[in-house]
Amino acid sequence: MARKLLLEHINVPGINTFDVYRQKGGYRAVEKALKTLTPDEVVEEVKKSGLRGRGGAGFPTGMKWSFLAKPEGVARYLVCNADESEPGTFKDRYLMTHIPHALIEGMIVSSFALGANTSYIYVRGEMMPQIRILEKAIAEAKHAGFLGKNILGTGYDLELYVQPGGGAYICGEETALLESLEGKRGNPRIKPPFPAIAGLYGCPTVVNNVESIAATVPIINDGGDEYAKIGIGRSTGTKLISASGNLVRPGVYEIDLGLPVEEFIYSDEYCGGIANGKRLKATVAGGSSVPILPANLTLKLANGEPRLMSYESLSEGGFATGSMMGSGGFIAFDEDQCIVRNTWNFARFYHHESCGQCSPCREGTGWMEKVLHRIEYGHGKMSDIDLLVDVSKKIEGNTICPLGDAAAWPVASAIRHFRDEFEWHVKEPIKCLDTNYGLANYAEPIAKAEVTTGN
């Protein structure tokens, strides 16, 4: 059994209350950081730990913190991005629901490290229960003297606020989040300037994912070097994976980075295999915006080595044969699932959530959605498949924020790996309405997908 850092006490009754959390060793990190370390030392520990952003991009957290501009007399802000709305990702919600004090503790430590006296937790609007849980947790922490003026008599002041969002996916993009937090329409800003220079209200700001902030607690408790021992290569520590789809036991798992994907799917400790005795067809390894992978490429790299759950291994092979770690939303599809329908569903999501600010994403997401809808419902043409690839290429990289890329990748990768299924939908316009392409059409065992590098 691998060591749990974030979810160690998750099954202790009442761990969502301050008293039980404190009994189990909670808020030790605050005491250690505020009383024995300087802010720079905390940043140094996080740097040493090699912690990488858990929100999707995987940028080293310590590095991000050290980029924060520190002009005299200007406030600095820490904003926690809890606008988790990627289809397939629900780890932050789990963490906030069951162990909210882990986030509060992480916020205090991180704010101290950055010298922020006001910090915000921007929670997605749909998560009203979690907002109430966090507000209760903040009140408890404040009552115990871990928030407010002169925390633990060290002279450090911190106010923590929970801000509900309006429920827009785009507000998970850090600059759109800041716009929304300022009370404006949640449109991503044009970078540069980056938030580390001019963020919230024009002040230097760091925006971090819930899990990244919570992970600072074990880093401070045990030291960055200790944390860096877990994991593999540049993917250090543990990661929460929200597994969903056709698995025997879907749910949130804390894994050591570097766990083989095969073990994650099939071992009884984790997902326990594919439900109903079926076979794996494809996976989306890191939330809806990462490229989809067929089963053979999920379990093995193109060169035959086992694929591991780590930032590097999941993206091994680039877009031709790889995917991405993303936000850890692991979705498994069994042999009966329709990839065309799934791709359409994702495209529909991005069409709905595009902010409409820049033209390629505003128009392109809607276009892809309509073409995919047509293919799924048996009105497609062969030329539509190439059209989709072309449109996705014209969106990718030409937009202000990564939403355009996120909309383009699933479509491009689905066609790259499952082109035969798209073609079947075009050739069998009536059959495709009530029958799934199914594994019957695949060779036995599942044939190695043709690696096309052209796209």
Partner 1 sequence: MSDKVKVTIDGITVEVAPGTTILNAARQIGGDIVPPAMCYYSKLEGSGGKCRTCIVKVSKGSEKDPRPMPKLVASCRTTVMDGMEVQNITSPEVIEARSGVVEMLLINHPLDCPVCDQAGECDLQNLGYEHGLQKTRYEFERRTFERIDIGDKIQLHMNRCILCYRCVFTADQITNKRVHGILNRGDHSEISTYIQTAVDNDFSGNVIDVCPVGALTDKTFRFKNRVWFTKPIDAHRDCPTCSGKVTLWYKGEDVLRVTARKDIYGEVEEFICNTCRFDKKKTADWVIEHPTHISDTSVIASNHYETLKPLPVIQNNPQLQQANKVELEKTTKF
Does 170 interact with partner 1 (rule: CB under 8 A)?
yes
Residue with smaller CB distance to partner 1, 237 or 364? 364
Do you know the residue count of the chain?
455
Does 199 interact with partner 1 (rule: CB under 8 A)?
no
Whether residue 193 is preceded by a cis peptide bond, meaning omega within 30 degrees of 0, is: yes
Binding mask 371-400 for partner 1 (x = CB under 8 A): ----------------x-----xx--xxxx
- Kindly state the smallest distance separating residue 395's Cβ from partner 1, in Å: 8
Does 185 interact with partner 1 (rule: CB under 8 A)?
yes
Give the binding-site size for partner 1 (rule: CB under 8 A). 28
Part of the chain binding partner 1 (CB under 8 A), chosen from 70-78, 147-155, 276-284, 356-364 = 356-364
Does 149 interact with partner 1 (rule: CB under 8 A)?
no
- Contact between 95 and 135 (Cβ < 8 Å): no
Beta-sheet strand order (sheet of 205-209): 159-164, 118-123, 77-82, 205-209
Total Cβ atoms within 10 A of residue 44: 17
Contact residue for partner 1 among 39, 125, 272, 366 (CB under 8 A): 366
In 285-402, alpha helices (H)? 295-299, 311-314, 318-321, 339-353, 359-376, 382-395
Part of the chain binding partner 1 (CB under 8 A), chosen from 23-31, 202-210, 353-361, 414-422 = 353-361
- Kindly state the smallest distance separating residue 155's Cβ from partner 1, in Å: 40
Does 448 interact with partner 1 (rule: CB under 8 A)?
no
Window 231 to 290, contacts with partner 1 (CB under 8 A):
none
Q: Distance between CA atoms of 35 and 260, rounded to whole angstroms? A: 40
Q: Distance between CA atoms of 179 and 375, rounded to whole angstroms? A: 37
Cβ neighbours for 234, distance < 8 A, ≥ 6 positions apart: 50, 52, 311, 312
Does 360 interact with partner 1 (rule: CB under 8 A)?
yes
Q: Distance between CA atoms of 239 and 254, rounded to whole angstroms? A: 6
Contact residue for partner 1 among 178, 210, 292, 358 (CB under 8 A): 358
Residues found near partner 1 in the complex (CB under 8 A): 168, 170, 185, 190, 351-360, 362-367, 370, 387, 393-394, 397-400
